[in-house]
Structure 1
Amino acid sequence: MSPLPQLALAPMEGVMDAKARDLLTQQPGWDFAVTEFVRVTQERLPAKVYHRLCPELRQNARTASGVPVHLQLLGSDPECLAINAQVAVRCGAQVVDLNFGCPAKIVNRHGGGARLLRAPDQVFMAAEAVVQALAHKVDAQGAPIRVTAKMRLGDETTDLALANAQALEAAGVAQLVVHARTRLQGYRPPAHWEWIGKVADAVRLPVLANGDLWTLADYQRCVAVSGVKDAMFGRSAMADPWLAAEIKASLSGEPRPPTQLRDVLALMVSSLLFDEHTADKVKVMRTKQWLLLLTYRWGEAARAVFDQCKRLQNTAQIVQCIQLVLKSD
């Protein structure tokens, strides 16, 4: 039997925080997670910044369930990236990931994220500086610290997609996630999975597919189109926390029942009831955000739940509302 694919949780700013990583990695199938990006500008950031965005650094860079967490940096200045990568490793980072994919205007305005993809030479210099800065660092097992990267297909076009991937390989990056859209395309469907295959053919790096992988069927189609089996999931992991388990069960010849919306809602209620440390205002905001995200996967059924909860003001009301939905289902 072929080895099972690596399936990972994507770095989503404002969504995939430590609590979300903890909750999702309690479900089986996830091999690693990547943090929200640490924005690197012109200064050496203090350790508290890394520990705030990645508290798992204090526990061998793993979630409570033992899933590795990679720390992501976003920036464009090679020297500053290198300095901050060293700080991150001293804080406990075991893998440093570089963001060449963020499409946010405020990030791109300062030359970071996907905007760097307009210049493969700059991509190379940024990545090489970090690789060189960590060349003699080792992780908790004594192995060299790995530098990985996540990129889109380009800024406005795919013209430089292969050049950027090859620049990252030449810089010494050990693994590459490819989000199958350009910056200009944002998150609008479709994701262009065929380009993931083109990138994988152009480099010798392990490549992970990313973009529009909402279901087992989506994953299977992506593999058929791209030839790439390893994958990273963002919004879809929040919409179906058991998606990785379903994919691996299918590949093992022991398919499991597909997730239902009620399964996700029940997990949501459980997470709210057992979270005694987060401010209620924050829990309400995050839960509404999660409910809205479910609509991309579960359509009108999820929209109906969101509409019932969107004006509620505290966690107790939201829990009661969702519990009523579960009882009526």
Structure 2
Amino acid sequence: MRVILGPMEGVLDHLMREMLTDINDYDLCVTEFIRITDRLLPNSVFYRLCPELHNGGKTTAGTPVRVQLLGQEPQWMAENAHRAIKLGSAGIDINFGCPAKSVNKSRGGAVLLKEPESIYQIVKAVRGAVHPTKPITAKVRLGWDDPNHCFEIADAVAQAGADEIVIHARTKVDGYKADAIKWDYIRQTKEKITIPIIANGEVWNYQNGQACLQATNTDSLMVCRGALNLPNLCNVVKRNEDHMTWSEVLELLLRYSQFEIKGDKGLYYPNRVKQWFAYLRHQYPEAKALFADIRSLNKAAPIISILQQAHHNLAA
């Protein structure tokens, strides 16, 4: 089976990809989306969101990284896809699933689930602009508000020439409600299209992963939020490894803190580490207690000091 580390805007950045691929056997990573409007973006934008392009499109651990694009104009999506591939991206992923209102208002992301013909035209244009050996994938939801629309959406992606499709098994209206997950629709879709499907949604542990694979009849999973709740989720899902201990998670947090952080990056460190804690506390009770100690801090140094003290106390 394959496990892919999916994108999360503002959370799963290149630093997180670097760490998580170092401790997990991920088969692929997908970047946060690059917003495409009506122009060809400069190289610097691609390098900023995907610095792995400087390393042959791979993390230091050797995991391929695929640039994700989000937009509504086939021509500009195609031109920017061509550029991303030229810079070294391991294929192109197209975002048709983002539920953010700000994105949807400008005809990007999940709002295009209402327009299968637009999805077809975008994927077809990107496929035509990229060498046939470079994979094109699309990430979708089951529909805007009706999961039965997933069949037409998936067919549009497949007919346009995509190599694979990632299906998040909820509609846009479902948001991220756990009880709204509809894995069975992925299985039904798989019976109707010929390209492989990657299943996404509500995989938090080994049991969830096995249940999803069985319910969807797929052999590939994409994990996003779960990878932040449980940092070694990929290996847990693949091989039923033990969950990381809280001590090991603290070591990982300290490693994250030791990344070279300069300029603007130093400013966003406190927010990023607190975002991570917001996920970790669902898996680790200790994270919930420690989060209370750092949540009001907005400088890196005192946060790191608290993490170091917590790690020291465990080791003592």
**TM-score, normalised relative to structure 2:** 0.93
Change (3 A) 1:19 1:274: closer
Residues 120 and 160 of structure 1 are in contact (CA less than 8 Å); yes or no, is this contact kept in structure 2? no
Contact 2:9/2:32 (<8 A) preserved: yes
Q: In structure 1, which of residues 201, 208, 233 is the aligned counterpart of residue 198 of structure 2?
A: 208
Matched, 1:55 2:51: yes
Confirm or deny: 8 A CA contact 2:205 2:236 kept in the other structure: no
Map 1:98-177 onto structure 2 (within 5 A): 98-134=94-130, 137=131, 144-177=133-166
Match of 2:268 in 1: 282
Asked if the contact 2:165–2:197 (Cα under 8 Å) also holds between the matched residues in 1, the reply is: yes
Question: Which of the numbers 238, 246, 251 marks the counterpart of 2:236?
Answer: 246
Which of 280, 297, 312 is the equivalent residue of 2:283?
297
C-alpha displacement of 1:262: 3.3
Partner of 1:320: 305
Q: Is the 8 A contact 1:38 1:72 kept in 2?
A: yes
Identity %: 34
* Residues 1-31 of structure 1, C-alpha deviations (whole Å, 9 max, x = no match): xxxx110111111011111111111113111
Deviates more, 1:74-83 or 1:278-287: 278-287
Stretch of structure 1 that moved more, 265-274 or 118-127: 265-274
Distance 1:68 1:42, change over 3 A: same
Unaligned 5+ segments in structure 1 are 139-143, 251-255
Whether the 8 Å contact between 1:214 and 1:297 is mirrored in structure 2 is no
Superposition CA RMSD, Å = 1.7
Say if 1:236 and 1:297, in contact at 8 Å, map to a contact too: no
Residue 217 of structure 1: aligned partner: 207
Return the alpha-carbon distance in structure 2 between the equivalents of residues 115 and 228 of structure 1: 26
- 3-state SS of paired residue (1:26): helix
Select between 121-130 and 225-234 the one with higher mean Cα deviation. Answer: 225-234
Moved more, 5-14 or 85-94: 85-94
Please say which of residues 261-270 and 272-281 is displaced more in the overlay. 272-281
> Which position in structure 2 is the counterpart of 1:306?
291
Name the residue aligned to 1:226: 216
Offset from partner CA, 1:193-251 (integer Å, 9 cap, x none):
2222222222121111111111112112212322223101111112222111122223x
Q: Secondary structure at the match of 1:177?
A: strand
Question: Structure 2 counterpart of 1:189, which letter?
Answer: A
1:70-81 to structure 2, matched below 5 A, reads 70-81=66-77
Say which SS state the counterpart of residue 187 (structure 1) adopts: coil
Is the alpha carbon distance of 1:100 and 1:311 closer, same or farther for their aligned partners in structure 2, counting shifts above 3 Å? same
Aligned residue for 1:13, secondary structure, equals: coil
SS class of match (1:241): coil
Q: How many residues align?
A: 312
1:15 aligns to 2:11 (yes or no): yes
- 2:36 alignment counterpart: 40
Contact 2:206–2:238 (CA under 8 A) maintained in structure 1: no
Secondary structure of the structure 1 residue equivalent to 2:178: coil
Structure 1's 218 and 291: CA in aligned 2 closer, same or farther, altered over 3 A? same
Query: What SS class does the counterpart of residue 282 from structure 2 fall into?
Result: helix
Bigger mean CA offset, 315-324 vs 156-165: 315-324
- 1:257 corresponds in structure 2 to 242
Cα deviation for residue 328 of structure 1 reads: 4.6
> For residue 61 of structure 2, what is the aligned residue in structure 1?
65
Structure 2 gap segments, 5+ residues each:
none
Q: Under a length normalisation based on structure 1, what TM-score does the superposition of the two structures give?
A: 0.90
